[in-house]
Amino acid sequence: MRHRKKGRQLGRQTKHRWALFRSLVTSLLEHERIETTEAKAKEIRGFTDRMITLGKEGTLPARRRALAFIRSKDVVSKLFSDVAGRFKDRQGGYTRMVKTRRRIGDGAEMVAIELVTMVEKSSSKAAAVPATTAPAGSTEAAAS
């Protein structure tokens, strides 16, 4: 029985699982969007939120705690300088998961996990471009 044992085992030993979480969080903070399985994405949400909270704290001990988990010094400097500044007014919920597809080999549900503000930047660019082209049938249907 697994009563009161939280977290997914993902078919891995403990050290392998922790290494997986560390590398996924590092990749997510570096690229700001990664595609992985739904179970892995749900597991790394909390770790990512914790790292961004450390970045918002901005102190030297917080930087050292982030360096103990994240695998790249460049990603930690990006976290503390760029990413934390974007979330300064947000109290949590720094990531979003978007279902993308089913993997061909085993049928696993794949999701794209991304930082929330990354999409807002791209949507503001899309809003700046006027949408003048419309499908041919849409104007005729609206007129009648």
Structural tokens at position 97: 């998961």
Look at the domain 14-119 and name its fold: 50s Ribosomal Protein L17; Chain: A, (3.90.1030)
| Predicted confidence (pLDDT) per residue in 38-71, tens digit | 999 999 999 999 999 999 999 999 999 999 999 9
- Write the DSSP string, 11-80: TS-HHHHHHHHHHHHHHHHHHSEEEEEHHHHHHHHHHHHHHHHHHHH--HHHHHHHHHHSS-HHHHHHII
- The answer to whether the CB of 58 falls within 8 A of the CB of 80 is yes
Per domain, the residue ranges of the chain are 14-119
The count of other CB atoms within 10 Å of the CB of residue 81 is: 11
- Report the alpha-carbon angle 2-93-76, nearest 5: 95
**What's residue 143's pLDDT?**
52
**What's residue 117's pLDDT?**
81
- The answer to whether the CB of 39 falls within 8 A of the CB of 113 is no
The count of other CB atoms within 10 Å of the CB of residue 127 is: 9
**What's residue 38's pLDDT?**
96
pLDDT beneath 50: ranges in the chain: 119, 131, 139, 144
**What's residue 144's pLDDT?**
45
